[in-house]
Structure 1
Amino acid sequence: MKIAVTTPRGNVGRHLTRMLVQADVRPILLTRHPENIPAAVAEHVDLVAMDSREPSQVVSATAGVDAVYWVDPPAESSDPLADYRRATESVVAAVEANRIGRVVFQSSVGAEKRHGAGEIDGLAETEVALDDCGADVTHLRCGYFFTNLLFETESLKAGLLRTVLPLDAPMSWVAPRDIAEVAALALLSGEWSGRRIQAVHGPEDLTWAQVAKILTEELGREVRVERIADERMREQYLRMGMPPAMADAVLGMSTGLRDGFVPEQDRSMVTTTPTPLRSWIREELVPLF
């Protein structure tokens, strides 16, 4: 079975690659920079240079592939949804041209809204397009990545996190390694077909207040969390250098899931994964302090 993996050095992809190799699969890693794949990994995989937003490159790179783990790359331009649209066109072109039978797509909680969730709307477009292209497809509706806290390292060192979300509203938090495990099982299993939605919720829902408490205890320093106005957060993104449309898209991922949003899938044994936030902080975040 030939399995292709996009963004193999990403938060999920690096774990998925290792899991597939350990399952005696030689995955095909699709990446813009194959030279950045560590030598210890490269000897167990096949490397193909490819830009996920170039349909002709994706079609060529996936010739003969039976299954693909597809990740829309992060938006890079002043028109983020257009970036997602180009990635969607690429994966659909590859599936149709190469008759790829199985796709596992890294989506997000909130994609079920289809519109009104900022950058997540781009993932929703990919879901819809994959549903229409004839392959068996599993959409992984992932919760909030633990690794998003890595972008807040400087704020954490200053003892303050800011969010536009209510501090007492629980949401799903998940370890990327656990997403990779769910993805690996979906890619390797022959027991499903058609269209599947697989939420990946992490071990428990957490409020921002609970996250701040856990960070305080594990980092050994006080971390407070403050709710700020939407416009203030947008101004913060603009000061970071984001184009206005990008700032709106990033902000929309929070505001779009804030007021009355209910995920399509309830938490269950199927959607719950094992790694607690505390463990991830000890392994990934504490060494940075």
Structure 2
Amino acid sequence: MTIAVTTPNGNVGAHVVRMLCQAGERPRLLLRHPDRLDPALRELVDLAVGDQRDAAYVAEATSGVDALFWVHPDDWTLPDPDADAEDTAAGLAEAMRRNRIPRVVFQSSIGAELRGGAGFIDGLARIEQRLDAARADTGAALLHLRCGYFMTNLLMDLDGLRAGTLSTTRDLDEPMPWVDPRDIAAVAAGRLLSTAWAGRQVQAVHGPADLTWPQAAAALSEATGTTIEAARISPDDQRKALRGAGLSEVAVEGIVGMSAAFTPEQPRSYATTTPSTLAGWAVTHLRPAL
């Protein structure tokens, strides 16, 4: 079969590509910068170089594919990232109709089910709606992966963690599903390879456990050897820090909005639980970075 993968250098996409190659497939990679690929990968894949925001390119790059893994190429520097998400999804939806793509796996997020009020996650909700409409027209198998909080997000606050603080605007006692992107990739790759499912489906990816912020801080402390404590900050404090990092007001509000409290639509179950622990991820990835 021919399986197309977007963002093959991303936190999830890179793992999806490796898993497909290890399964004996030759994936077609949709990407803008082929020079960023591991040279050892070049002989194992086909490249379709272009911009996901170009509808004509997406239609051509997905012609003849049996399955597609789609990750929206976030760009928080744009004036309206949510509108960009919807416009980009329109190109994919047209490609689904034109090429009759049998299976599409979309990397979404918990909170997308709210359809509003969740910052940049609202853009993912718009994509879901666009793809749902295309699926209704084509009968494709469509899966929305509603992912939990990426462990890799911690790498964006190394200074704070080095100073011993795990900051959040959420209630410290609010449990969160923490997930390793590698586990998201495993779920995605399994669905891309399987022909045994149909219709519109939602699959949560919750990681191995829901952790409160003090529990997460304790796991990180043990794994890294750095004493880390959870601290709740106000949304205004978060805005100040984001502005200090040079982010635009659009980006600031989008990120703050994503920090709003919400409960995952799907309860934790055998199907939504994945194995990689926060402590294990931190030993491998966060400890060397600190």
TM-score where L is the length of structure 2: 0.96
* Aligned twin of 2:53: 53
Match 2:231 to one of 226, 246, 250: 226
Provide the secondary structure at the position in 1 that maps to 2:183. helix
- Which of 23-32 and 224-233 deviates more? 224-233
User: What is the identity percentage for the equivalent residue pairs of Structure 1 and Structure 2?
Assistant: 51
> 1:198, CA displacement in angstroms?
0.4
8 A contact 1:75–1:84 mirrored in 2? no
8 A contact 1:4–1:67 mirrored in 2? yes
8 A contact 1:238–1:247 mirrored in 2? yes
> 1:90, CA displacement in angstroms?
2.1
Alpha-carbon RMSD across the aligned residues, in angstroms, is: 1.1
* Aligned twin of 1:81: 82
Distance in 1 separating the partners of 2:20 and 2:202: 22
> 1:100, CA displacement in angstroms?
1.0
* Aligned twin of 2:196: 191
1:143 to 2:145 alignment? no
Unaligned runs of 5+ in 1: none
* Aligned twin of 1:18: 18
Distance in 2 separating the partners of 1:133 and 1:236: 40
1:114 to 2:115 alignment? yes
* Aligned twin of 1:239: 244
Q: 2:82 is aligned with what amino acid?
A: L
Q: 1:262 is aligned with what amino acid?
A: T
> 1:262, CA displacement in angstroms?
2.7
Distance in 2 separating the partners of 1:22 and 1:88: 29
What are the superposed Cα offsets for residues 165-213 of structure 1, whole Å, 9 maximum, x if unpaired?
A: 0111101000000000000111111111000100000000011111111
* Aligned twin of 1:93: 94
> 1:31, CA displacement in angstroms?
0.5
Alignment: residue pair count: 285
Q: 1:285 is aligned with what amino acid?
A: L
Structure 1 segment 63-74 matched on structure 2, within 5 A: 63-74=63-74
Q: 2:156 is aligned with what amino acid?
A: F
Unaligned runs of 5+ in 2: none
What are the superposed Cα offsets for residues 222-270 of structure 1, whole Å, 9 maximum, x if unpaired?
A: 1122111111211211121111111111111111xx1xx3322100000
Distance in 2 separating the partners of 1:104 and 1:90: 16
* Aligned twin of 1:9: 9
Provide the secondary structure at the position in 1 that maps to 2:266. coil
1:210 to 2:215 alignment? yes
